[in-house]
Structure 1
Amino acid sequence: MPANSPRPSATGSSRLFARGSWRETQRITAALRTETVGGALLLVAALAALVWANTPWRESYAALRDLHVGPSALHLDLSVGHWAADGLLAIFFFVAGIELKHEFTRGDLSDIRKATVPVAAACAGVILPALLFLGVGMLRGGGGDVLRGWAIPTATDIAFALAVLAVIGTHLPSALRSFLLTLAVVDDLIAITIIAVAYTESLQALALLAALVPLAAFALATRRGWTSPWLLIPLALLTWGLVHASGIHATVAGVLLGLVTPVDVGHRLEHVVRPVSAGVAVPLFAFFAAGVTVVGGGFGEAVSDPAAQGVVAGLVVGKFVGILGATWLLARFTKAELDSDLAWADIAGLSLLAGIGFTVSLLVGELAYGAGSARDDHVKLAVLLGSLVAAVLASVVLRSRNRHYARIAAREAEDLDLDGVPDVYEAHGSITPDGVGDGRQDGRREDGTLSS
């Protein structure tokens, strides 16, 4: 159970969800603020689409979504909905690629001891929902067409999840927020791999090889510090176009561009691009993807569809059992221990929160069943319903935990010094003389001796 006051991690074992450095905490907090706004815009866009699609003017919504624009000579005569899914979401995945690069080079995933838990939890949080979906589909007599959607409930929507956590978790330990962000990064990497491998029907190898040329030029330019938009945007568009032509989903180009960007440059580009992603790209995708008509019997047809039932089961049950179970198994059978600041109820709430799937889940549904098909509409409704149930259950658990930590914070208000850095970060050696966190929790120097 959580202690009333923070204690340093034991040096002989690695703590699960241990407190990070002050610099990392500041970075996580800044990301939370951005994602809260993005999550709110995402919710508004989805609700607007859902309302429009169930009014007497719903045909105008479908007409707008299916309107084709773009140069046909370049095989880019796509519908507006297709442009949102393939084009705008590439911006979202570019930001995800930058985040992946940071986590694997300088973040928690760069330390194998810290990476083990979120990686294992993310993998279990993908595998179990997929198995549940397949199990429900087969038990309900679904054929191969139903089973194509096995990957729909495997993705966690980081914007929605962080937005919910920021609203209900004002006093929850930063370790939980950091874990959710790290887990979602690994989750995104798995989802991108699934999209590229499982949902690529035909591969044009020549176009894919050609995409490596502008991708390499983009990598060289950012490594040299050439960040002019007049240079980077044409290279990014060319990479995107060639990946699209190769048959691989074009959003993969976004994550590749993010991964080849050096971390320092990536931070500057992310500062510019993230508002576009959170404020424009993802909400517009949500607007054109979430418009499901449920009036006139559509809801009844959706809930009776085995694919929709599998999606809800995967998001609500699969994510919870997979993430919580993997974390418990690590704590039970390895040297890892739950951090003394946390309780298993916190991890349970976070595992429920990871069942909020939206952006990538909707995208995979379109890839599996075809945009605008009846089954695609059914799984869209299931994604919305499953995400809502997961959010409500997580809110019940985490609000209770938040009240617990709020009482602790009220008793420890004196921990904040005049320098603006909480004493807990200074007491355990995570602040160096220049004020930068070194990530060590127990006050030891790099040679293993205790600092004074």
Structure 2
Amino acid sequence: MRCANVLCALATLAAPCAGYARASAGGARVPALGGARIVVRAPARLAIVARGSGGARWRRPLVAHAASDAAHDSASKPECGLANPTLCGPSTSSSFLQRLLAWQEVGGGGAVLLCATALSLALANYGPTSAAWLRLWSAPRGLTVAGHALSLRGWCNEGLMAVFFFVVGLEIKQELRTGSLRTAKTAILPCIGALGGMLTPMAVYAAVNLSGRFAGGSLAALAVPMATDIAFAMAIFSLFKSRMPSSASAFLLTLATVDDLGAIIVLATCYATGVSAPFLGIAALTTLALALAGRRQARTGADVRVFAAGGAALWWCLLRAGVSADIAGVVAALCVSTRATVDSEPVTERLIHRLSPLTTFFIMPIFALANTAVPLAQALGGKAGAAVAPAIGVALGLLVGKPLGIFGFTWLAHKLGVARMSTDMSNAHLAVVSTLGAIGFTMCLLLTEVALPPAATPLPKLAVLVASAVASVVAAAMMRFGLAVRDPAPAPAA
């Protein structure tokens, strides 16, 4: 039944792709910057985005221009001078935020996440600290919420990850309204690739677990290898972006966004147990109230406190209802209007700008510390045999199914004329992006945690870590040795 639920949830993603398939596909010319307004965009896709008077957009990386932009801002202020030196340049907190965002752009988030993973694995497997480290995350901690005694790992997965999903939801809505998902011609091909990247790994997992060749065959973790970790994937991509076309970056971002949406749908619909209808009804009413508040604030101006309070209430209702409470974040985010503003700045852009460093450098590393505390002795021996089939299915689903699905579906759609790949993107570039899509990590670990009983999670978690590491190394090697450095693109006309 759960397998059927997963497939039904994925069917909801096929409808937009089918709709896009009826539209024509093609590349778009990059407009000039006349009359542009500069804003900062989302975490994994951090860039300076300029909007012209006609709504046209142009993007450039933040890091390369941070110094010149700061100097221009300082020089443009009439008060800035020797008499008032404190008025020149950004405040300390703003400067610190900009440094975090700039570090995030060049893959700093992936580096911190990697360090947190290595630290957690080391502490979980070093004799003097192993027992205490594992007990730290598994013992009940803090307040009991309506009879739910959450462990520290539970607070991380159900609580902190709600903030992570809030940022993901804001990114998805931003992409749907003003980004790479706003038109059929820019969204159809990565959308089809993402669909292949979800269905094929699940097919590989099912084949392994139904073959009967490995112990512990189970379809409970069927959805685990379907997700892509956008933070890690973009961190690896950013190290070799001089060898990749800009269209490859947009393709990967869109693909990962659709992947996240698919994983969220599966998490919400397929892994809910003992659902309480009354609290689910209250959650639905809370969502309706948030949506109405979003529509109203589109006209009157945004008040973030409304969504903070409403999101907290929704989180509590979902927890009581027996549904993964962390999805309250994405539901609340989708209720925020992209037309609502704070000090003439779109509230979605402001929230992404301010919350993305929190999720990248605080929440994600804590998630890694909590969920990669895998004792290798337990994962590789003892009761590990009961989870051999799920672990092999997850590993092969990521390493074989994910690249094969993304590349195969995209190539086939291009050959059949359903969509067109950008002219500056070759099959070699598509192969790299497909391999980067096999980096599962965050969402795969979260799905493993909710799909399998605690005793069966160590080996599949280890499979996720190993598969993600192998995919990272292979993708990096493909970009480093298989692709030449590209000539820098000419600057857009002023």
TM-score, normalization: structure 1? 0.81
Which residue matches 1:440?
Answer: none
1:206-238 Cα distance to aligned partner (Å, 9 max, x none)? 112212344344444454266555543222211
1:144-199 Cα distance to aligned partner (Å, 9 max, x none)? 86221111111000011011111132342111111111111100110011111111
Answering whether residue 246 of structure 2 is matched by residue 246 of structure 1, we say no
Partner amino acid, structure 1, of 2:330:
V
Answering whether residue 59 of structure 2 is matched by residue 26 of structure 1, we say yes
Partner amino acid, structure 1, of 2:408:
G
| Corresponding residue SS for 2:423 | coil
Answering whether residue 113 of structure 2 is matched by residue 113 of structure 1, we say no
Q: Cα–Cα, structure 1 residues 300 and 333, in superposed 2: closer, same or farther, change >3 Å?
A: farther
Which residue matches 1:315?
Answer: 398
| Corresponding residue SS for 1:71 | strand
Once residues 73 and 244 of structure 1 are traced to their aligned partners in structure 2, the CA distance between those partners, rounded to angstroms, is 8
Picking from 96, 119, 128, the partner of 1:48 is 119
8 A contact 1:243–1:253 mirrored in 2: yes
Partner amino acid, structure 2, of 1:298:
L
| Corresponding residue SS for 1:291 | coil
Q: Cα–Cα, structure 1 residues 240 and 335, in superposed 2: closer, same or farther, change >3 Å?
A: closer
Which residue matches 2:224?
Answer: 152
Picking from 356, 362, 367, the partner of 1:280 is 362
Answering whether residue 458 of structure 2 is matched by residue 377 of structure 1, we say yes
Instruction: Tell me which of the two structures has the higher relative contact order, counting C-alpha pairs closer than 8 angstroms and 6 or more residues apart.
Output: 1
Once residues 96 and 20 of structure 1 are traced to their aligned partners in structure 2, the CA distance between those partners, rounded to angstroms, is 26
The 5 Å alignment of 1:192-231 reads 192-223=264-295, 224=297, 227-228=302-303, 230-231=305-306
Picking from 465, 471, 480, the partner of 1:390 is 471
Which residue matches 1:448?
Answer: none
Which residue matches 2:334?
Answer: 259
Offset of residue 143 of structure 1: 7.7
8 A contact 2:307–2:332 mirrored in 1: no
Q: Cα–Cα, structure 1 residues 297 and 376, in superposed 2: closer, same or farther, change >3 Å?
A: closer
Once residues 226 and 184 of structure 1 are traced to their aligned partners in structure 2, the CA distance between those partners, rounded to angstroms, is 31
Once residues 166 and 347 of structure 2 are traced to their aligned partners in structure 1, the CA distance between those partners, rounded to angstroms, is 13
Q: Cα–Cα, structure 1 residues 160 and 25, in superposed 2: closer, same or farther, change >3 Å?
A: farther
Once residues 62 and 277 of structure 2 are traced to their aligned partners in structure 1, the CA distance between those partners, rounded to angstroms, is 42
| Corresponding residue SS for 1:100 | helix
1:364-387 Cα distance to aligned partner (Å, 9 max, x none)? 1111112x32x2000110000000
Once residues 58 and 195 of structure 2 are traced to their aligned partners in structure 1, the CA distance between those partners, rounded to angstroms, is 25
Once residues 458 and 29 of structure 2 are traced to their aligned partners in structure 1, the CA distance between those partners, rounded to angstroms, is 42
Picking from 393, 396, 411, the partner of 1:328 is 411
Once residues 139 and 330 of structure 1 are traced to their aligned partners in structure 2, the CA distance between those partners, rounded to angstroms, is 30
Once residues 377 and 68 of structure 1 are traced to their aligned partners in structure 2, the CA distance between those partners, rounded to angstroms, is 20
Once residues 308 and 335 of structure 1 are traced to their aligned partners in structure 2, the CA distance between those partners, rounded to angstroms, is 35
1:348-374 Cα distance to aligned partner (Å, 9 max, x none)? 01100110001110011111112x32x
Partner amino acid, structure 2, of 1:58:
S
8 A contact 1:19–1:175 mirrored in 2: no
Once residues 319 and 379 of structure 2 are traced to their aligned partners in structure 1, the CA distance between those partners, rounded to angstroms, is 37
Once residues 368 and 324 of structure 2 are traced to their aligned partners in structure 1, the CA distance between those partners, rounded to angstroms, is 18
Which residue matches 1:131?
Answer: 203
1:412-452 Cα distance to aligned partner (Å, 9 max, x none)? 6xx3xxxxxx14xx4xxxxxxxx7xxxxxxxxxxxxxxxxx
Partner amino acid, structure 2, of 1:328:
W
| Corresponding residue SS for 1:255 | helix
Which residue matches 2:74?
Answer: none
Answering whether residue 157 of structure 2 is matched by residue 122 of structure 1, we say no
TM-score, normalization: structure 2? 0.75
Q: Cα–Cα, structure 1 residues 335 and 120, in superposed 2: closer, same or farther, change >3 Å?
A: closer
Answering whether residue 307 of structure 2 is matched by residue 232 of structure 1, we say yes
1:382-408 Cα distance to aligned partner (Å, 9 max, x none)? 000000111111111122355331xx3
Once residues 317 and 215 of structure 2 are traced to their aligned partners in structure 1, the CA distance between those partners, rounded to angstroms, is 34
| Corresponding residue SS for 2:307 | helix
Q: Cα–Cα, structure 1 residues 296 and 82, in superposed 2: closer, same or farther, change >3 Å?
A: closer
Offset of residue 202 of structure 1: 2.5
Which residue matches 1:181?
Answer: 253
- Structure 2, unaligned runs of 5 or more: 1-22, 32-48, 51-56, 64-100, 339-345
Picking from 10, 25, 40, the partner of 1:14 is 25
1:333-353 Cα distance to aligned partner (Å, 9 max, x none)? 116333222211011011001
Which residue matches 2:91?
Answer: none
Which residue matches 1:404?
Answer: 485
Q: Cα–Cα, structure 1 residues 80 and 386, in superposed 2: closer, same or farther, change >3 Å?
A: same
- Structure 1, unaligned runs of 5 or more: 1-11, 416-421, 427-434, 436-452
Q: Cα–Cα, structure 1 residues 144 and 244, in superposed 2: closer, same or farther, change >3 Å?
A: farther
8 A contact 2:217–2:389 mirrored in 1: no
8 A contact 1:155–1:188 mirrored in 2: yes
Picking from 413, 421, 427, the partner of 1:338 is 421
Which residue matches 2:7?
Answer: none
Answering whether residue 338 of structure 2 is matched by residue 268 of structure 1, we say no
Q: CA RMSD in A?
A: 2.7
| Corresponding residue SS for 2:374 | coil
8 A contact 1:170–1:402 mirrored in 2: no
